[in-house]
């Protein structure tokens, strides 16, 4: 457990909780602790799904600008690589993930939210990539994950202007997946994550690997990847359990072990 980031686990759902008041700014230490939390969540068999959460008031306000401004070119090269690596550890977490976004997610905060498979936000939330207002560009996925979510034209508008995007627009362009009342954000995210607590963990891992990995391949090779992951599941207990349960009891009644 880190000073600013901790992994809390209950009934198969892990919550990676940011707690660096007042705005959960992503300084060097927070980045390292996020990567450590992602590693722990990956390795723990009792974690079947993960929620990224910044608390009731704010998800994350972005990078620590005072810390960044003081860095030399050599130092910012090292910082940028470490920042990308820490968020990649979350994006590559081989379990279903959901960001529960309250208050706002700006700059690095939005980039953090975009590492998740799903984003649930409050109806008063604002998101954006305001780095252009500092004379820089997003450096932790804001030009790449954003483009893959909303397309190049909308991504350019958001990045070029640095404007804040309100919840309704974020939902309409596919940047977020669910908008709820502010006090229901965590519970809505937990409801989505909890459905995987007793699911076929290896199959879920394979599904994520196929979808995410396929985006970087042409269709022919993406389909090959899918076939490899599909057939590999015949080595799991859950495949035998799921199919036998279907034959005997119909769909949706299998009790999986995650093996």
Question: How far apart are the C-alpha atoms of 214 and 86, rounded to whole Å?
Answer: 22
The half-sphere exposure of 146 on its side-chain side, counting CA atoms within 13 A, is 28
Q: How many residues are given for the chain?
A: 259
Asked if 255 is an active-site residue, the reply is no
- CB-count burial class (<10 Å; 0-12, 13-18, 19+) for 135: exposed
Burial environment of residue 31 by CB neighbours within 10 A (0 to 12, 13 to 18, 19 or more): buried
Please provide residue 9's backbone torsions phi and psi, each rounded to the nearest 5 degrees: -125, 130
43 is catalytic: no
Distance CA 211, CA 73 (A): 36
Contact yes or no for 259/236 (Cβ under 8 A): yes
**Among 36, 131, 184, 248, the one annotated catalytic:** 131
Catalytic residue among 3, 82, 111, 184: 111
Active site positions, annotated = 111, 131
């Amino acid at each position: 457990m880190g000073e600013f980031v901790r992994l809390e686990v209950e009934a198969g759902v892990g919550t990676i909780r940011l707690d660096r008041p007042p705005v959960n700014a992503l300084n060097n230490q927070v980045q390292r602790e996020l990567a450590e939390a992602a590693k722990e969540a990956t390795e723990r068999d009792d974690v079947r799904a993960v929620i990224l959460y910044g608390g009731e008031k704010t998800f994350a306000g972005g990078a620590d600008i005072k810390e960044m401004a003081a860095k030399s070119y050599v130092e910012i090269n090292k910082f940028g690589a470490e920042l990308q690596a820490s968020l990649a550890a979350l994006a590559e977490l081989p379990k279903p993930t959901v960001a529960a976004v309250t208050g706002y997610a700006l700059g690095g905060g939005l980039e953090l939210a975009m590492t998740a498979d799903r984003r649930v936000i409050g109806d008063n939330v604002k998101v954006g990539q305001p780095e252009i207002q500092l004379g820089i560009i997003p450096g932790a996925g804001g030009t790449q994950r954003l483009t893959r979510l909303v397309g190049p034209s909308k991504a350019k508008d958001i990045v070029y202007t640095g404007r804040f995007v309100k919840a309704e627009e974020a939902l309409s362009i596919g940047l977020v997946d669910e908008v709820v009342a502010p006090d229901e954000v965590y519970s809505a995210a937990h409801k989505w994550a909890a459905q995987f607590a007793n699911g076929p963990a290896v199959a879920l891992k394979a599904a994520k690997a196929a979808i995410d990995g396929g985006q970087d391949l042409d269709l022919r090779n993406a389909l090959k990847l899918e076939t490899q992951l599909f057939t590999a599941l015949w080595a799991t207990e859950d495949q035998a359990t799921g199919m036998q349960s279907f034959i005997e009891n119909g769909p949706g009644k299998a009790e999986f072990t995650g093996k």
